[in-house]
Amino acid sequence: MTETPEPEEDGAQTFADLGIHDDVLEAIKEMGWETPTPVQRDSYPLAIAGHDVIVQSRTGTGKTGAFGLPLVDGLLSDDGDEQALVLAPTRELALQSAREIAKLGTRRGIDTVAVYGGASMEQQIQALDKGARVISGTPGRVLDHLKRGTMKASQLRVLVLDEADEMLDMGFLPDIRRILAALPKDRQNLLFSATMPKEIRSLADNLLND
Ligand code: AMP
């Protein structure tokens, strides 16, 4: 005979249990999300407390929410000019993340912009000038904006590396290093990767403060 397992009592079961603000809870509800996925449940408390986080998770696990939720819910102050930079290997992923974070942050006045190559620089510059708080982009174009001064590195308080293993496979490591060199040292870092080869571990060693 098997025993019925006791419900887990040690972790948050709902988004409200995580302490997420009502206006973000509303957005989550509109998106049709009912309960946090494991990666969201485990990452949120660490990220919102300001820690660096390194997460092994694949696409489809809710990883975008895992970094999007803390970004819109508290890591970026409501009225300041602090920004977050999300680096992704492809323009599709950069766009997809920007859209999802925009939905999550819709009631918090957090604008997002996707910046990637092969698209108009002008539109991206306009969105940056208007004060986008979350910048989701591919490394090459982000570097371009940093060099031109159309993106101000000093305001970037949080860095997210999404699909870090893919970015390394695609040869973005030199660009990532250049971007890292331009960013403030006291930023918070969130690193997401489907796999954790030694190249990612060594990148993490360089990247993470805490
Ligand atoms: P991702 O792993 O971030 O690419 O997310 C995969 C899909 O799951 C996306 O369509 C998300 O909108 C969706 N999703 C993320 N978190 C949740 C959740 N807690 N409940 C239901 N769907 C979710």
How many A from CA of 65 to the centre of ligand 1?
A: 7
Q: What is the mean pLDDT of the chain?
A: 92
pLDDT (0 to 100) of residue 11: 66
pLDDT at residue 49 greater than cutoff 80: yes
pLDDT (0 to 100) of residue 208: 80
Q: Whose CA is nearest to atom 21 of ligand 1?
A: 33
pLDDT (0 to 100) of residue 1: 47
Q: Residue 62: CB within 6 Å of ligand 1? A: yes
How many A from CA of 97 to the centre of ligand 1?
A: 11
- Confidence band for 6, pLDDT divided at 50, 70 and 90: very low
Side by side, the strands of the sheet bearing 83-87 are 53-56, 188-193, 156-161, 83-87, 134-137, 112-115
Instruction: Give the number of the atom of ligand 1 that is nearest the alpha carbon of residue 34.
Output: 20
Question: 156-161 and 134-137: which strand pairing?
Answer: unpaired
Give the integer Cα–Cα distance in Å for 201 and 199.
5
Q: Residue 37: CB within 6 Å of ligand 1? A: yes
Give the integer Cα–Cα distance in Å for 111 and 180.
23
Q: Whose CA is nearest to atom 18 of ligand 1?
A: 33
pLDDT (0 to 100) of residue 141: 98
Percent of the chain topping pLDDT 90: 87
Give the integer Cα–Cα distance in Å for 82 and 152.
10
pLDDT at residue 187 greater than cutoff 80: yes
CB 110 within 8 A of CB 133: yes
Q: How many CB atoms lie within 10 A of CB 78?
A: 9
Question: 188-193 and 112-115: which strand pairing?
Answer: unpaired
Q: Residue 96: CB within 6 Å of ligand 1? A: no
pLDDT digits (tens, 9 = 90+) for 95-117: 999 999 999 999 998 999 999 99
pLDDT (0 to 100) of residue 10: 57
How many A from CA of 67 to the centre of ligand 1?
A: 12
Q: Whose CA is nearest to atom 8 of ligand 1?
A: 62
Which candidate, 70, 96, 60, 41, places its Cα nearest to that of 158? 70
How many A from CA of 31 to the centre of ligand 1?
A: 9
pLDDT (0 to 100) of residue 210: 73
First to last CA, the chain: 46
User: Between these two residues, 1 and 16, which has the higher pLDDT value?
Assistant: 16
pLDDT (0 to 100) of residue 2: 45
Q: Residue 65: CB within 6 Å of ligand 1? A: yes
Instruction: Give the number of the atom of ligand 1 that is nearest the alpha carbon of residue 57.
Output: 2
The answer for residues whose C-beta is within 8 angstroms of residue 49's C-beta and 6 or more apart is none
Question: 156-161 and 188-193: which strand pairing?
Answer: parallel
Residue 74 DSSP SS3: helix
